[in-house]
Structure 1
C-alpha cells in the first residue's frame, strides 16, 4: 500500500518565538493606548461638570438681574452668600468674582494619604469653599451645586459640616488618586473648583469655572485642561 506524503509542515520553534515577540510588542503599544483613551474619556466627562456649573451660574444670574439690568448692581444673587460674614457679603462676593482667585465653591482633597485610603472604598474628601455654611444652605451656591451634580456636598455644608466624605462625581485618576497611585498631587489651595467673571468683568455676564489655584489651572494625566476657559492662566501639569 502506498501512502501519500503531505507537503504541509508545522511551524518551527524560532518562527513561533518570533510571532510571540511581535505579539508582545503590539500588546505593549496597544494596551496603554487603549487605557489612555478610556482615561481621556473620563477626563472629558469630569470637565463637563465645570460647564454645568458655568451654565447654571450664568442662568441664575440672568434670572436675578433681568435682561435689562446692570450686571454691576445685580447684588441680590449673593444674598446669604456668607462671604465676609456680616460685612456686606454681597459686595465682597462681587469683589472676589473680579479677582484672579475667584470664589472657591469646593475644595477636593486629592493629595491626602487618608484620601487615598478612603478612595479604596469609593469615597473622596471635600472641604468647604469661600462661602460660610449659611451660603450653601440657601440661594445661589446651593442651587448651582445642586444642578451641577454636587447636591450632597452642598447639603452637607449647608447643614454645618466643613468637611465631608462622599462618593465622588469625578471619575478620572486626576481627581481620584494620590500621585503615588498615578494621580495628580496639589496643595489644598490648588485643589479647588473656582469661579470668577471672564476677564474680571461682570458686564460680560460670563463666568470662568476652573479647577486649580489662583490664576492656575490643572492639566489632567491625559492632557485635559480643567477650565471652561484657560485664557491667561498658568497650566499646572502633573509633578
Structure 2
C-alpha cells in the first residue's frame, strides 16, 4: 500500500486559525492607518483652500475671498484654477472620506475685513467604517482647528491642531 502524502485536516485547521488570528490583529490597525491618512488629507485640503483664498483675496478678489468656493476651481468660465475640482466639489462627493461643509465668505466693508470659513468633516463619523477621527475647521486666520468627529463639527472655538 502506498503511503499518502499531504496535510491532515487538523493541520489545515490550525493554519486557518493562525491566519484568522493574524487578520483579527491586522485589520483594525489597517483601518486606523486609513483614518489617519484621511485626517492628514483633510488638513491638507484646508491648507490648500486657505492658500488659494489668500491668493484670490490679494489678487483678483480685491480684498474679498472667493464666493462660492467653486470660483477657486478650474473648469468654469469665471473660475481661476487654483484648486483641483475634487477639492471644490468635495461638498457633493467626499474626497478621501471627508466632505466640505458650511463654506461661507463675507465681503469686506468699510468697518470690517473680509471673512471666510469652511469645515471638513468625515463622511462617516461613527462605527467601524468611519472615515476619519476628527472634523476640521479653517477660516481667514489660517489656523486649522479640530474636534472629535463623533462629538461635534469643529468650529472657530475648537482647539487648534498645532499647524
Structure 2 length as normaliser, TM-score? 0.51
Count, aligned residues:
121
The answer to which structure, 1 or 2, has the higher relative contact order (CA under 8 A, 6+ apart) is: 1
Q: Which runs of 5+ in 1 are unaligned?
A: 65-75, 79-139, 154-165, 198-206, 218-226, 233-239
Q: Which runs of 4+ in 1 moved over 4 A?
A: 148-153, 183-186
Aligned match of 1:71: none
Q: 2:158 aligns with which of 198, 203, 216?
A: 216
Cα distance, 1:185 vs structure 2: 10
Q: Which has the higher helix share?
A: 1
Q: Which secondary structure state, in structure 1, belongs to the residue aligned with residue 67 of structure 2?
A: helix
Whole-Å Cα distance in 2 between the matches of residues 171 and 61 of structure 1?
Answer: 27
1:44 aligns with 2:40: yes
Which residue of 1 is the match for residue 126 of structure 2?
A: 179
Which residue number in structure 1 is paired with residue 102 of structure 2? none
Q: Show the counterpart of 1:58.
A: 54
In structure 2, stretches of 5+ residues that fail to align are 73-82, 99-120, 147-153
Answer with 1 or 2: which has the greater Rg: 1
- TM-score scaled by length of structure 1: 0.38
Shift of the 177–152 alpha-carbon distance from structure 1 to 2, 3 Å rule, reads closer
For residue 13 of structure 1, what is the aligned residue in structure 2?
A: 9
Counterpart contact for 1:176–1:183, Cα < 8 Å: yes
RMSD, aligned CA: 4.0
Written as runs of structure 1 = structure 2, the 5 A alignment for 1:157-172 is 167-172=92-97
Q: Report matched runs for 1:43-192 at 5 Å.
A: 43-63=39-59, 77-78=63-64, 140-142=65-67, 146-147=71-72, 148=83, 149=85, 151=88, 167-172=92-97, 175-179=122-126, 182=130
Hey, what's the Cα distance between the residues in 2 that align with 1:152 and 1:26? 39
